[in-house]
């Protein structure tokens, strides 16, 4: 399995930045809009991830996202350290130049909510069922990022039962595994919460393959 940190593949062949960046995008547990913008942006980064300036409107057309969703996705990528704004959009007098970005693979990506190298399903920490974790990305007003890990540690809550014949009183929504677990536990913070996340994932990345110095 290729890791975002790998510099060479299993045969010792150097890996392009685009390959490694896409592996990180694959592994991230974030909203699909963030993945789409990252995938679209890296198409402009043939080799090293620098000089990315497709423009939000062009990305919106290519991804079918709204301009606001594209701007928020860039904000999340910047907060993750996966994108750096090199030059803001400017008006030249005849046309507007788009924001110029550089893409990167941050050294701290292991601390993001990511799948393991085998991209297996997670194990619910209450019922033990296998599930695909739901993203819980929070972009703060100051541009920093936080994660709602609780949504990734437990399987998706059940849907509200339909009313018989579409009439009568609204059926109560059954409790989900997160609610049931919370009846006997307090949700921890910090490293304990990340410990629950890693336990649910149960799949760790190994040591990266590095190219030897000439």
Nearby residues of 201 by Cβ (< 8 Å), 6 or more positions away: 115, 116, 122
Percent of the residues in the chain that have a pLDDT greater than 70, as a whole number? 85
Residue 48 pLDDT grade (very low, low, confident, very high; cuts 50, 70, 90): low
Count of CB atoms situated within 10 Å of the CB of 187: 13
Percent of the residues in the chain that have a pLDDT greater than 90, as a whole number? 57
Q: How far is CA 64 from CA 20, 61, 99, in A?
A: 25, 5, 20
> Quick one: pLDDT at residue 51?
63
> Quick one: pLDDT at residue 101?
79
Site of tokens 């993945």 = 35
Report the pLDDT averaged over residues 119-136. 96
The string of pLDDT tens digits covering residues 175-191 is 999 999 999 999 998 99
197 vs 96: CA distance, rounded Å: 44
38-42, 81-85, 161-165, 180-184: range with highest mean pLDDT: 180-184
Residue ranges of domains in the chain, CATH in brackets: 17-111 (1.10.10.10), 122-201 (no CATH)
140 vs 155: CA distance, rounded Å: 25
Whether 163 has a pLDDT exceeding 60, the answer reads yes
Residue 87 pLDDT grade (very low, low, confident, very high; cuts 50, 70, 90): low
Whether 96 has a pLDDT exceeding 50, the answer reads no
> Quick one: pLDDT at residue 16?
87
Residue 154 pLDDT grade (very low, low, confident, very high; cuts 50, 70, 90): very high
Judge whether 77 and 85 are in contact, CB under 8 Å: no
Whether 95 has a pLDDT exceeding 80, the answer reads no
Please tell me the pTM assigned to this model. 0.85
118 vs 114: CA distance, rounded Å: 11
Greater model confidence, 15 or 119? 119
Whether 194 has a pLDDT exceeding 80, the answer reads yes
Calculate the CA 33 to chain-centre distance.
9
């Amino acid at each position: 399995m290729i890791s975002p940190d790998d510099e060479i593949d299993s045969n010792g062949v150097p890996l392009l930045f685009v390959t490694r960046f896409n592996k990180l995008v694959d592994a991230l547990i974030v909203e699909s809009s963030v993945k789409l913008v990252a995938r679209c942006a890296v198409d402009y980064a043939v080799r090293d991830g620098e000089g990315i300036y497709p423009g939000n409107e062009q990305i919106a057309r290519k991804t079918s996202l709204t301009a606001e969703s594209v701007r928020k996705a860039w904000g999340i990528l910047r907060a993750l350290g996966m994108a750096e704004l090199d030059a803001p959009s400017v008006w030249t007098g005849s046309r507007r130049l788009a924001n110029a970005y550089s893409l990167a693979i941050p050294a701290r990506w292991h601390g993001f909510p990511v799948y393991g190298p085998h991209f297996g399903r997670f194990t619910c920490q209450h019922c033990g069922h296998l599930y695909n974790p739901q993203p819980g990305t929070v972009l703060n007003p100051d541009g920093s990022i936080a994660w709602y890990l609780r949504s990734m540690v437990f399987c998706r809550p059940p849907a509200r039962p339909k009313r018989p014949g579409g009439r009568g009183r609204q059926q109560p929504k059954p409790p989900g595994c997160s609610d049931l677990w919370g009846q006997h536990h307090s949700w921890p913070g910090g490293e304990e919460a990340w410990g629950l996340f890693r336990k649910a994932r149960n799949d760790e990345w190994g040591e990266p393959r590095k190219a030897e110095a000439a």
